[in-house]
């Protein structure tokens, strides 16, 4: 078998001002959080998400932890979270001592079902985590119709969905607080994160929570250092300057895959909802139920052809920490999780590489490879 060059799942595309801004950090000797790029990034993030405030945070995980802390979530509180998500979403709620209450996905979807959120709300619900998973936008309009009348704050987890839209508006400005990650996501700065929000009081609280008091004086909270370095902010800003181009490239990759996979027996793709505009941080396919191959077997076959892919997340309610604590059923999320896989989705992919991935997938699914 001829061995073709390796195609990775994802790679950052660093072709803008990243190097120039990093050189500026080094030339000016400002590499820690005090440099100019943190503030510039925050202004640009608030502008892009159309919020009053943005604060750069060390990473997306701690953006979530601080958001929950700022909202006063703690022991005895319940936090609603989709079971299909990356671990950090749920772990953040557990880290502040709250009980995680799982919700299912909407049918044939990668994001949460607002109707299931409505069923899971109790007097103890202190927040809902709305995850824009894999570059798909959760249906914020339907979700807020459930949470707003009950005054329940929604925290958007935008880690994988930056720049996606729902009901014509970008994610990151719908919820009470939105949490962002720059770890090889739509924007890539190595590590990094941010929160975006409109509420002045919460913004001041979040600032207090990310900043240890200088000389140990002042402040009213236990504040660990959760700031982002000037170096990471410099790279994130350069990425944000060209985000629309990065996202359009990802959408073109997805469109090409859609064309190759249309009508292929044994395979399904995930369509955008009518009110949704996806950014395809990862492109997924699903094997039809009953297909003789599992998603893990397909991943192994593609690996033999030097193509990296990955089964999508397993359900967090099945994680060994949470499993003994919950007994619910999440049929929509389970079906998607068991049948689906991520294909290479980098904005660096060439049309030839996309063709090679798609044709290899189609032949593997037809059991010809
Ligand atoms: C959905 C989701 N939330 C939160 C995070 C955490 O972000 P970070 O890796 O920046 O801590 C990630 C990271 O992969 C994620 O995918």
Provide the angle, in degrees to the nearest 10, between the axes of the packed helices 295-304 and 351-365.
130
User: CA-to-CA distance for 17 and 35, rounded, in angstroms?
Assistant: 17
Report the number of secondary-structure helices (H) and strands (E) in the chain: 12, 14
pLDDT in tens, 56-84: 999 999 999 999 999 999 999 999 999 99
CA distances from 366 to 257, 336, 342, 359, 360 (A): 17, 20, 18, 11, 10
Does 260 score more than 70 pLDDT?
A: yes
SS3 state of residue 284: strand
Q: How far is the CA of 60 from the centre of ligand 1 (A)?
A: 5
Both structure tokens of 252: 């073109």
Q: How far is the CA of 89 from the centre of ligand 1 (A)?
A: 7
Q: Is 61 in the pocket of ligand 1 (CB under 6 A)?
A: yes
Does 1 score more than 80 pLDDT?
A: no
Both structure tokens of 211: 């900043």
CA atoms within 13 A on the CB side of 203: 13
Q: Is 111 in the pocket of ligand 1 (CB under 6 A)?
A: no
Q: How far is the CA of 134 from the centre of ligand 1 (A)?
A: 11
If you average pLDDT over residues 123-128, what whole number do you get?
Answer: 98
Give the closest residue (by CA) to ligand 1 atom 7: 60
pLDDT tier, 2 (very low <50, low <70, confident <90, very high otherwise): low
CA distances from 313 to 84, 125, 208, 336 (A): 7, 25, 34, 9
Q: How far is the CA of 11 from the centre of ligand 1 (A)?
A: 16
| 109 CB neighbour count, 10 Å cutoff | 21
pLDDT in tens, 306-333: 999 999 999 999 999 999 998 899 999 9
Q: How far is the CA of 22 from the centre of ligand 1 (A)?
A: 24
Q: How far is the CA of 37 from the centre of ligand 1 (A)?
A: 22
Q: Is 196 in the pocket of ligand 1 (CB under 6 A)?
A: no
If you average pLDDT over residues 272-282, what whole number do you get?
Answer: 97
SS3 state of residue 334: helix
Nearest ligand 1 atom to alpha carbon 181: 10
Quote the pLDDT of residue 218.
80
Q: Is 160 in the pocket of ligand 1 (CB under 6 A)?
A: yes
User: CA-to-CA distance for 42 and 270, rounded, in angstroms?
Assistant: 33
Contact indicator for 72, 220 with CB cutoff of 8 Å: no
Arithmetic mean of pLDDT over the chain:
96
User: CA-to-CA distance for 125 and 84, rounded, in angstroms?
Assistant: 19
CA atoms within 13 A on the CB side of 298: 32
Quote the pLDDT of residue 368.
74
Does 369 score more than 80 pLDDT?
A: no
Both structure tokens of 174: 């719908």
Burial class (CB in 10 A: 0-12, 13-18, 19+), 290: exposed
Q: Is 35 in the pocket of ligand 1 (CB under 6 A)?
A: no
Q: How far is the CA of 308 from the centre of ligand 1 (A)?
A: 20
Q: How far is the CA of 184 from the centre of ligand 1 (A)?
A: 10
If you average pLDDT over residues 74-101, what whole number do you get?
Answer: 98
Both structure tokens of 267: 């395979």
Beta strands in the chain (DSSP E): 53-57, 78-82, 99-103, 125-131, 154-157, 165-166, 169-170, 177-181, 193-197, 267-269, 276-277, 283-287, 310-311, 340-343
Does 129 score more than 80 pLDDT?
A: yes
Ordered structural domains, the chain, with CATH: 18-241 (3.40.640.10), 243-365 (3.90.1150.10)
pLDDT in tens, 135-193: 999 999 999 999 999 999 999 999 999 999 999 999 999 999 999 999 999 999 999 99
- pTM for the model stands at 0.97
Nearest to 3 by CA among 304, 339, 208: 304
| 86 CB neighbour count, 10 Å cutoff | 18
Q: Is 127 in the pocket of ligand 1 (CB under 6 A)?
A: no
Quote the pLDDT of residue 122.
98
Residue bearing tokens 């049309």: 351
Q: Is 82 in the pocket of ligand 1 (CB under 6 A)?
A: no
Q: Is 183 in the pocket of ligand 1 (CB under 6 A)?
A: yes
Q: Is 131 in the pocket of ligand 1 (CB under 6 A)?
A: yes
């Amino acid at each position: 078998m001829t061995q073709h060059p390796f195609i990775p799942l994802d790679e950052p595309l660093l072709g803008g001002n990243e190097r120039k801004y990093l050189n500026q950090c080094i030339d000016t000797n400002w590499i820690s959080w005090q440099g100019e790029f943190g503030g510039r990034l925050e202004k640009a993030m608030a502008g892009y998400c159309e919020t009053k405030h943005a604060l750069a945070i060390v990473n997306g995980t701690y953006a979530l932890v601080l958001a929950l802390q700022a909202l006063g979530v703690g022991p005895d509180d319940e936090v609603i979270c989709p079971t299909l998500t990356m671990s950090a979403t749920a772990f953040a709620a557990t880290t502040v001592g709250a009980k995680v209450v799982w919700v299912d996905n909407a049918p044939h979807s990668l994001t949460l079902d607002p109707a299931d959120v409505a069923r899971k709300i109790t007097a103890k619900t202190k927040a809902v985590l709305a995850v824009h998973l894999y570059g798909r936008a959760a249906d914020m309009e339907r979700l807020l119709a459930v949470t707003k009348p009950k005054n329940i704050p929604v925290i958007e987890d935008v880690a994988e969905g930056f720049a996606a839209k729902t009901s014509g508006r970008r994610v990151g400005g719908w919820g009470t607080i939105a949490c962002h990650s720059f770890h090889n996501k739509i924007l890539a700065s190595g590590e990094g994160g941010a929160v975006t929000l409109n509420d002045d009081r919460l913004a001041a609280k979040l600032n207090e929570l990310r900043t240890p008091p200088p000389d140990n004086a002042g402040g009213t909270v236990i504040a660990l250092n959760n700031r982002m370095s000037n170096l990471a902010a410099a790279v994130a800003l350069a990425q944000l300057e060209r985000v629309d181009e990065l996202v359009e490239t990802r959408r073109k990759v997805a469109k090409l895959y859609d064309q190759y996979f249309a009508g292929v027996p044994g395979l399904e793709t995930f369509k955008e909802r009518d009110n949704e505009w996806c950014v395809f941080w990862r492109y997924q396919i699903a094997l039809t139920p009953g297909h003789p191959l599992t998603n893990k077997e397909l991943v192994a076959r593609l690996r033999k052809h030097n193509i990296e892919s990955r089964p999508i997340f397993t359900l967090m309610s099945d994680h060994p920490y949470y499993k003994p604590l919950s007994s619910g059923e999440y049929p929509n999320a389970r079906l998607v999780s068991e049948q689906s896989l991520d294909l290479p989705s980098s904005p660096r992919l060439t049309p030839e590489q996309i063709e090679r991935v798609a044709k290899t997938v189609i032949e593997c699914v037809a059991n010809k490879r």
